[in-house]
Structure 1
Amino acid sequence: MAQSHLISNNDEETAKLIAPYIQSGNLNFLIGSGASLPAIKTAGNIEKTLDDLIKAGKQSEADREMVDFIEAIGKTYKQLVSDTAYPADLDETFNNYSSFISIIDQILFFRKNEILPRQATIYSTNYDMFIEFAASNSPSIIINDGFDRSSGRSDSFAFVPEKYFDRTYRASSLYARRVEIPTINLIKPHGSLNWARKGSNLVYNATAVPPLTAAEKANPAKVTDYLSKHFLIMPHFGKFHETLMERTYYDLLRLFSKSMEQENAVLMAFGFSFSDEHILDITRRTLRNPTSQLIIFAYSHDDIASYQAKFTKHRNVSVIGPPAGININFVRLNDILSAVLPEIKNG
């Protein structure tokens, strides 16, 4: 069954536990709604709420619930693009993400294993734009979100999943020696607020969809139109608006599956409950790869048992959790990953 590790306040001890996997593994991260706290509340039981409403034949009510969920996330998007100072909760979340991608970038840069690519992949089920905005504030960090920006003549960049296989190199002007530059892939299986459809294609769209008024929310046609403007996988089982959305969803899940089937694949999960049945099922199946390793950071002591129950048949799963009364929040996760850096540099 899944192994559990109760950690102390000593981040260096935890770093020694996970450093070997980071040093020698194909590195992946899986983050969920818990990572975007406190700016955005967790998804909670919205999936069950929507499913129950739909099964009861209350599609209009389910759609309005979904609109409220999207608009709460859209509010943070508008704050991110504004020129005013960020509210305290948004500023905290933004700084957490900024630190996170900066640490990953440094880990990739200092890793001693020259056989592995200097590349890591972040799988995020969140619709929000924190990672993208955090990367834009750090020009030295290369984030590959799968959109082709080779032409600057349009702001509707086409989604090309093949770009996730690209690697970036820089050559010395004196000796022409090639050095790989760290790259972070960002894959969002549930879609993103900056995704839109253009004809039969998925494109990058920097324009936020205006929120609905109270009167518009009472109009089912307006609600349906609002939801159709977003390229989002709704958080309940098997809900797709069209074939393009379904195809994109399964293409991205296949990428997730393939990344975990690589030799020495490492997946670190944070803020993710594994309540998504598709992702849970794929994760379980890919753990048949004996060289793969799943490391879950449990937010609270009570969460440890829940994760262990989901992976009772897997020995290559480690649940890292705190003692009762202490939480592993995003700041603590970043502290642990930062403590890995000396292990990587001196390894």
Structure 2
Amino acid sequence: MEAIKKCGVYLRQKIKQLFTSKSFIVSAISLLLALIVSGIILAFSGYNPFTAYVNMFGGAFGDMSRVADTLGIATPLILCGTAVAIAMRGGAINIGAEGQLYVGAMAAALTGIFCQGLPAILHIPLCILAAAVAGGLWAGLAGYLKIKLKVNEVVLTIMLNYIAIYLTDYIVTYGVKAEGMVVKTPNVAESAILPALYPHSRLTIGFILAVIIVFVVRWMMKKTVFGLELQAIGNNLAAAETGGVNIGKQFLVTMFISGALAGLAGAVEVMGVHKYFIKGFSPGYGYDGLSIAVLGQNSPVGVLVSAILYGALRSGAQVMDRMTKIPSDFVGLMQALIIIFVATPGIIMAMRNFARRGKKNHD
């Protein structure tokens, strides 16, 4: 009982710290402003914003099945957001989560199809491992070229997105296409399917895996030498190098871990939702990961909360579209406004610092 009490006290302290932190307050205000501005735009467009929001959030959290779908949609977003966040904390900009998600999904699908006769307790981890390695190597390629040839990782990861998407399209179209008109692979073996946490929904044990990864990454960032060195590079590259941190090795490992997490996002979609790889299966989870990381202030727990919010927006948009005739694309506008308002304090601070430096140099 004493241990349970201590655990409860610890959790309350952490929750209090989260809700009173500057980053959380900035994100919360940004969300509120985005809702207000979005509501004004809706009103000027001839729609009732209150009806829209009631239907949207009712569609996301109205009953247990809708909550399950929201969390199911949030699962790949959690992993992609964490992938981008860990790269940014290490001073890297990984915009290639979408491509890493695709190669991870294909690796999981191929492992699930061709590795037959394994029990689920071995087959599922094997598929997950294959996805993580594939995504990690894809991101690691960008990291390696950055180190060896000094090529900007932003350009590399963007270009590798297209290569990954078209490569997996080619494989599923001409290599392992299932019979029929739909461009998809055969179903993965039953032993490779992630168990559902709620019937007839997208929610699987992949969500539990994603949450565990969030807290493992949080622990790694705060309690391990690797995590501290990674943050040192992100905060001050020159100081970290002077302190003896191997910048090249750290960058490469960071990109590999980031890509591995994005690859896992592809695996949970293939193994838990579709049960096969289908052409164009991602609605942009990897790109949303960048927005989620920004909204979550590159904090693992912040990413978790932001991803669930994005999952709610995506899930609720379908109900809003059906009930109010407001296009579901309106959610994209809300997401853009959220990111604009999150970025605004940083933009203002950067402008103030620039003005101060200019005045100092003038004097």
Please give the range of the TM-score, normalised by the shorter of the 2 chains.
under 0.3
More strand, by proportion: 1
